[in-house]
Chain A
């Protein structure tokens, strides 16, 4: 089946892109570290001389936690906005990396080249930035369009329900429907990236439309591949919770062990995202190409691909 073939091809491609994942992870870590160091300083400053904080070493202590928040909440607030801003910057980095990731994935068996990676990043950044803006706006509109009717239906059904069990199931159904529709939006977004890349196009908005056509046309493959790809991060999360519970963070050594586990988890998530892209790229290549951006293909880009001596666009119908 195409889904499983794409799934395994994506896994293999991601396996060859370990360095890409490492680069993305390192940037993620450095970002976090720049916030964590002042955060640690703040903790030391506000509660470092208190012995009460020691009660938090064995686990959660409600009284210490709430008293600390009350006495040091003003010092924590700036970190909350800093995390939000970091997220926004990180999103821009993700947009930046997207072209590099696809370039490396599409390059087949070649060794990781930082030059090629960052070249891809730079080459596609602005068109992906536009795509991201369109995509986020469309996602918001889509989410809104989906959310309102689902909410109205759920609320109307809940209003007539006699007990909370029925209301729970109605709301749960609403949430599941909403999430499944949201996944559809994300799937379209991913293929929009791929279509832009594969066709070296600059028409970001049109790529969303083409991706939607592609996903609808190959709905079973595209949508279920995305759902299957979600299994790995879900499993990863379960493993993390298990380890967190088993190891705990109650001494210097267990804190260190958990630090390593956490960082492996973050690295694995970075790698998983490449796996996602790799699988979707493989799937895209398995289907005949649609008429996409007639006359817009860049001759220079085609020449570069040809000079590499590789059939990078494996679709036989690709002009």
Chain B
């Protein structure tokens, strides 16, 4: 709290100084957003940047305030220079992605299309000597520029220039702060993946020299203090410390700008430009956009100001963005935790800049919509809800996307489906047009279950280690599917308690998978005792750390008559004779054998509902471990059908067709599709006939 107030004062005074002394930079006092900081604000930035829309170049200067919260003396700093992922065809990102992402491809023909990030200078100030007058640039400190070297901690790709190491002559002592002044140039690439330009649309994401995370011993999986600063990968890009951002963006006057944080002021300059000052607190990143075409639509949800920057042709879809984000705000606030920020900006990229669509940053995200898209196709709502959800999953619960993407994209997909299905209908929330419909969760489950090889990889794998397109379906869809499975095993109420506990305990920190599992174990034990075992390790071993599939079936029902005892039996010294009594009313006993099978490798506790011809039903519990499990009933009633997982608690089961078996098949539905088939064939033949 104290530190936060000091920083406000320092920035205020520094800004006044800058506005006088620095011809490029000028500043405005910002309003404090949170009286009490929500995070430990390890990495904070003041930035002055200017966009050259012709050269697609951002020139800038940043002052970084970085705190050493560990007990280590730190002799080295590590930074991301992520725009270098777009520098040439040998970067790790281009190699991994093949120069395309989500169907959008990098046009390598024009020099203008490449992107890079150069540090022009890097100087240091001692935090112990820090005073407001230290903040502005111009005073020489230790020059680190010549010490910068590129490192490649993930893949040893010597051509990758997305991470730098900067050795320090004088270490940063425990509890101390280092202040760096960094001058840089960021050339935006032609957008095809996340960040870049398209004509006069600019999306600046991962665009400035950004310090990595120093994990102190005991934090996440760190045994001793260490830098966690990954290269820029095709599948992941987020892991950073919380901080404060004061960013001054200079753009041509006709541009509309949106950014992370709250707009503090806008000043018109004499050279045909304007400067906008954004301030953000307790966020892990800063991104911004600029485009002269944007149409601005404002809305409010409770105390949250919503600003939508739309392409002109999408103005009639403003309500879709606003309603969806309001639904998401309402749901997350009710079922997970409070959205603490005062505002939110939604960006609608142009058609030719859709590579930047569906990207998440704190308080700011890009959606994506198309002109004329029917309202029955809720792609826009889906993207808005998903990207908003990232404010929680990685925005506030600042997990490491590189190492545990399932906690980021997977958890977020789970909430996306919950919200979509809750507001727009279980089986039609994603698509409902011309008689065809499916829900968001159905679609996610199919994304996983419909994979050519659902066993392709375990969910816990590092993001860049996924092969053959496995990252998306496993990280997003499988995680969501097993989260729904967990929810149905423990019940919605317990699941909400798990997630709320996880959020409250770990918000504005860096939780890891182990921390989440500990919360699950704690809440399940508290609410359900040993019902699901001593702990839930068995569950996570199957779904998270294992890659096998879950598939249970009822493979058959066999019914035989039980032969009544016949012959002579001694009873009290007297021989009693029994004769066959087939067919007499009430005397026939049937032996019904229901065979349940485990076809997949995953073991789940299963329920089996057995239905008899008398209408009687028995619900059996099976631990699901054996490969086959026989249920045998001898009674005058015959088993008509049996169903494993009758209440659909295990959506992780990849084949629901074989979950039930009936001895009296209902053929109406089969007849229906046979009749339809006749009609389809007739039409197909007549279509061929039109060729002559």
Contact = CB atoms under 8 A, between A and B. Distances in A.
Interface string A188-203: 0100010000000000
A98 B371 contact: no
B688 A56 contact: no
B672 A255 contact: yes
Interface string B419-455: 0000000010000000111110011011001100000
B678 A163 contact: no
Interface string B651-681: 0001111111111011111111111111111
Contacts of A53: 657, 666, 669-670
A141 to B, nearest CB: 14
B311 interface: yes
Nearest to B687: A87
B681 A83 contact: yes
Contacts of B630: none
Given A29-B678, A168-B371, A168-B372, A51 B685 contact: no
Interface string A83-119: 1001110110111001000000000000000000000
B691 A91 contact: yes
Given A63-B446, A70-B449, A262-B675, A49 B681 contact: no
A132 B436 CA distance: 37
Contacts of B679: 32, 262, 265-266
B577 interface: no
Contacts, number: 196
A88 B450 CA distance: 32
A193 B692 CA distance: 9
Interface string A47-78: 11111111011011111101110111000000
Interface residues of B, number: 62
B685 A32 contact: yes
A273 B689 contact: yes
B368 to A, nearest CB: 11
B617 interface: no
Contact of A66 (B437, B450, B660, B688): B450
A163 B674 contact: no
A31 interface: yes
Contacts of B689: 90-91, 93-94, 273
Given A40-B674, A91-B691, A162-B199, A50 B681 contact: no
B371 A62 contact: no
Nearest to B354: A164
A59 B676 CA distance: 12
Contact of B674 (A36, A54, A67): A36
Contacts of B666: 51, 53-54, 57
A51 B657 CA distance: 8
Contact of B682 (A29, A72, A167, A249): A29
Contacts of A52: 656-657, 659-660
Contacts of A37: 674
Contacts of A162: 199, 350-352
Contacts of B436: 60, 62
Interface in B186-219: 199
Nearest to B436: A60
A70 B669 contact: no
Given A31-B685, A48-B667, A266-B686, A91 B692 contact: yes
Tell me which of B352, B446, B692 has the highest count of chain A C-beta atoms within 10 A of its own C-beta: B692
Given A54-B666, A63-B442, A91-B692, A39 B677 contact: yes
Given A47-B657, A50-B657, A40 B670 contact: yes
A293 to B, nearest CB: 21
Interface in B527-575: none
B682 A49 contact: no
Contacts of B371: 163-165, 168
Given A32-B682, A86-B684, A64 B657 contact: yes
Contact of A255 (B443, B655, B659, B671): B671
Which of B660, B661, B678, B684 has most A Cβ within 10 Å? Answer: B678
A62 to B, nearest CB: 4
Nearest to B438: A62
Interface in B362-384: 370-372
Interface in A156-205: 162-165, 167-168, 186, 189, 193
A189 B690 CA distance: 11
B661 A61 contact: no
Interface string A143-165: 00000000000000000001111
A33 interface: yes
Nearest to A95: B692
B641 interface: yes
**Max count, chain A CB within 10 A of own CB: residue among B435, B438, B672, B690:** B672
A36 B692 contact: no
Given A63-B445, A94-B689, A35 B681 contact: yes
Contacts of B691: 91, 94, 132, 135-136, 139
A17 B451 CA distance: 53
B682 A83 contact: no
A56 B677 CA distance: 14
A317 interface: no
A51 B662 contact: yes
A160 B185 CA distance: 30
Interface string B602-628: 000000000000000000000000000
Contacts of A90: 685-686, 688-689
16 contacts: A28-B686, A32-B681, A36-B674, A36-B677, A37-B674, A39-B674, A40-B674, A49-B663, A51-B666, A60-B437, A62-B439, A86-B685, A162-B351, A168-B372, A193-B692, A262-B682
Given A83-B680, A90-B686, A163-B350, 9 more contacts: A31-B685, A40-B671, A49-B665, A52-B660, A57-B672, A63-B442, A91-B689, A94-B688, A251-B668
Q: 5 closest Cβ contacts across the A-B interface? A: A87-B688, A62-B438, A90-B685, A40-B674, A51-B660
Interface of A: 28-29, 31-33, 35-37, 39-40, 43-44, 47-54, 56-57, 59-64, 66-68, 70-72, 79, 83, 86-88, 90-91, 93-95, 98, 128, 131-132, 135-136, 139, 162-165, 167-168, 186, 189, 193, 245, 249, 251-252, 255, 258-259, 262, 265-266, 269-270, 273
